[in-house]
Structure formats: C-alpha cells, structure tokens
Amino acid sequence: MSGNSRHQALIDQLFRDRDAEYRCASKAEQQLKEMTDAKEMKAAYEAKLAEKEEALRERDKTIEAKDNRIAQLEQKLLYLGRKMWGAMSEKRHIPDDSNQLKLDFGQLEMSPEEEETVRKAIEEITDYKKVIVKGHEKQVLVRHKLPKNLRHVEEHIYPKGYEGHGDEWVLFDDTETSEHLEFNPAELYVRVTIRHKGMRKDMKEIQTAPVQNEPIAKSYASASLLTDFMVGKYVDHLPFYRQIQMYKRLGFSIPPSTIESWFHDVADLMRPTYYRLRELVLDTDYVQSDETTVPIINNEKHQTVKGYLWLVRSVVNNLVFFSYNEGSRGQK
C-alpha cells in the first residue's frame, strides 16, 4: 500500500469515529432534554396537586363552618320551639304595652288596602278575649255554640230534697243552664208490612192492599239500609267487611255474599243515572281524562294482570264519571 492510500484510510477512519461521537452526543443531549422535560412535568403536576389539596382543605373548612352554623341554627330553632310551645305560663301572654303589638311597616311602601289589612290585624290581636286566671292574664279558647238545628232535649235537675216535697220549696225563675252534645247510636229495627184485605159492602170483590215498591225484589234490604252501605263505602271509604262488623255491634250479622249481591243490584239500579251523567259530561266542550292502573285477577292464568280505569271530568260543570272497559287502554 502506498503512502497516499494509508493517509486516505486514516482520514476515513477519523471521519467515522467523529460521526459516531456526534451521534452519541446527540443521543445524550436528547435524553438529557427528555429528563429535563419530565422533571418540569413532575414539578407542574406536584404544584397542581398541592393546589388541589389546598382547595380541598379550604372546602372542608367551609363545610365545617357551615355545619357549625347549621347546628347553631338548629339549637336556636329548638329553643324557640320550646319557648313558643313549651309548658310556660307566659307563652301566650299578650303584653299590656300596645306598642309591642305594632308591626314596623314604616320602611315599606304599602297601598291603602294593605294598610287597612294591617290595621285590622293589629286591632284583632289587641281585642283578643282574655280572662284573669290566678292573678295573671292567660288566653283561653272560646267554645263554639252548639247548633240550633239539632234536637234539644231538656233535663231538669232540682235541689237535693225537692223531689216529693215540692210544696215545701220555693223555686226561683233564675236557673243555671249548660249544654252537652249527646250521641244516640244507630239502631236496626224490622219494619213489618201488613197488607190488609177487605171488600166493599156494595161490591162482591175482595181487595188486598197494594204491594209497596222495594229497591230489590224478594230481599229484606230496605232503601235506607242499602243507602247506608253505599254511602259508607263510596263516601266514607269503609270496606264492606268493616261495615259488617259495625252492624254486628248493632245486633245483626249480614253475610258478605249477601252484601255483594246487594252491591250488584244497586249498581243495576244506578245504571240509568250513570249513562245520563256520562252523556252530560261528554256533551261539554272541554273534557279532561286520565287513567290509573288497577290489578285484575285473571281466572284462566290464575294471576293478576294490569288493567286500566279511566276518569273523565267535565271542567265546565265539574261533573265526573269513571269508565272501565274490561281494563283496556285502547284508542276506543
């Protein structure tokens, strides 16, 4: 190998070594940059984490302060409740100073109607009836008078020793009267209808008193009894079994099957009224309707299925009827 060839090979080897060192330096610089970026990201994440922890601590302090405030308000509310409704003789005491009864509405703008309402309210509070009890003032409830339309039965009570010796006493016109509301329980009784037979003297035909019309043929249930059952069920919401117990206390036990039969018979009697009510409701211009689900026993499947009961209301005349089309929710 000549001298020029060795010189060129040495130069090429130097270039290759230089290039390898440059690549190693670039790789090391890139790794250093990545490590620096990771440290910066870690520092930023730790800063955000510290900021969030500080925010959580501030929130916990705020919640604790609000809890303490709520507890204080609850204690104050309990105290005011005991103050108002507790067993205190002065809890309903109205002060003598009339200024304490005034409401400060001076800072508000009120119409003449509102001012008149406030004035009447203050007068009503001021003129509230009071009685003197054991040296101090205390409000008492005013007992309502018993209605005059009720039947009044007078009961006279005389002084001791008056009975049988009235000629030895002098009674004064001045009496003391008190009223008490009495209750007379319901009574079951049997109405026996006796139809008499007779014949006019100028005629040879025997006549019998006509048969009275009863709600249910060949039944001992009268109109008053059936009415009481229906009103109890649909107005007072008393099931039939409860009414049976009530009638037992009156002295007669009615079988549930009998009442069930009466119920269907009364429903048949009310059918014309129902159709007339339905006609009046549907003839109005504005009708509201809504359905509600009811459980229905399916005898074939031996289980309950969901059915629908419809309510229809006339808004104009406020009439209502119910419709049950075998539990259907169809368009018809």
DSSP string, 254-307: --HHHHHHHHHHHHHHTHHHHHHHHHHHHTSS-EEEEEEEEEEEETTTTEEEEE
Q: What would the pLDDT profile of 275-286 be if each residue is shown by its tens digit?
A: 999 999 999 999
Compute the chain's Rg from CA coordinates: 48
User: Where does the pLDDT of residue 117 fall: very low under 50, low under 70, confident under 90, or very high at 90 and above?
Assistant: confident
Strand duo 287-298 + 303-314: pairing: antiparallel
pTM for the full model? Answer: 0.49
Q: What pLDDT score does 136 carry?
A: 52
Q: What would the pLDDT profile of 204-220 be if each residue is shown by its tens digit?
A: 888 888 888 899 998 99
The token duo for 283 is 């003839």
How buried is 199 (Cβ within 10 angstroms: 0-12 exposed, 13-18 middle, 19+ buried)? exposed
Q: What pLDDT score does 109 carry?
A: 63
**Residue 202: is its pLDDT beyond 70?**
yes
Q: What percent of the chain has pLDDT over 90?
A: 28
**Residue 128: is its pLDDT beyond 60?**
no
**Average pLDDT for 309-330:** 89
**Residue 90: is its pLDDT beyond 50?**
no
